[in-house]
A = this chain, B = another copy of it.
Amino acid sequence: MTDALYGAIEAGGTKFRIAVGTSPDLIADTTIPTTTPDETIGASIEFLEHYAGQLKAVGIASFGPLDLDPSSATYGSIIRTPKPGWTGTPFRELITDALGVPVAIDVDVGGAAIGEWTWGAARGLDTFIYMTVGTGVGGGIFAGGRIHHGMGHPELGHIAVAREPDDDFAGHCPFHGACFEGMAAGPAISARWGERVTDLVDRPEVWDLEARYIAQALRTLTYVVAPQRIIVGGGVNRNEGLLGLVRDKLSDQLAGYGTNPVVDSDLTDYVVSPEFGQDAGLVGAIALAAGLDH
């Protein structure tokens, strides 16, 4: 007898990772460049077809925006992305049709949130946030034991932040200028300081300011969502000590106010790193597939 497996697709803007497994310990995986939908989704299907007899379900954690309304005729499609050729791709349907198994789809950060909830830093929680701060800002919200979508899906990068008093950077978001992403994502850091982020690692003033903007976003999310935990991943969190700084600044900013008991804690268990880091999307896709199977 062969064991059942889940298929996983982490669809990124520059590469796809495809894997099979039943847990975060993947049994097989491969990485291919993102070119055209035909070619890249075709190659993903080809990889998964090797396990056709064992596949029980497939999970997709994809770049967005996606149509995530299950009642929509285009559910599981990619919508109006600037990525040439991909707008309107019926991603979920293509995989379902080719493999004949149930397919779950979510945005990359939504998938990553479910992965952390199933096996990682958010196990057992009812309400938490998974946020990445890197080239852009993304985030998934888990509320009342399930992923929250609303209309479309959350876009945590574009919330308002107050300009820090010692910062005169105009902001880097093409839509909103000085929104959170426009002030705190990697390209904003580079543009503000005139150097690549990797060359700024030893400049404490860079990370002190960065921590204050991240803390502003986490304060807003604390007061809107009232989560039990906020997981902060993405490129900027590779800077050792950043989350410690973020906790200090967030504690200052919350100023003990609110009904969430975390406001009186040292925030060590509240602001945490993801458990799966680079593999968050792939593990999330496995978790999405596993979620279908019950």
Contacts and interface: CB of A to CB of B under 8 A. Distances in A.
Contacts of A144: 143-144, 146, 148
Nearest to A176: B255
A216 interface: yes
Identical chains in the assembly:
2
A99 to B, nearest CB: 27
Interface stretch (A5-13, A19-27, A85-93, A154-162): A154-162
Contact of A155 (B127, B216, B259): B259
A11 to B, nearest CB: 16
B141 A224 contact: yes
A65 interface: yes
Interface in A133-169: 141, 143-144, 146, 148-163
A223 B158 contact: yes
Assign chain A's interface to a size class: 35 or more
A291 interface: no
Contacts of A126: 150
Interface stretch (A37-45, A202-210, A225-233): A225-233
29 contacts: A66-B259, A127-B150, A143-B143, A149-B226, A150-B228, A151-B226, A151-B261, A152-B259, A153-B226, A153-B259, A154-B223, A154-B225, A154-B226, A155-B257, A156-B223, A157-B223, A158-B258, A159-B159, A159-B220, A160-B216, A160-B217, A160-B220, A161-B162, A162-B163, A163-B163, A175-B257, A176-B257, A220-B224, A221-B224
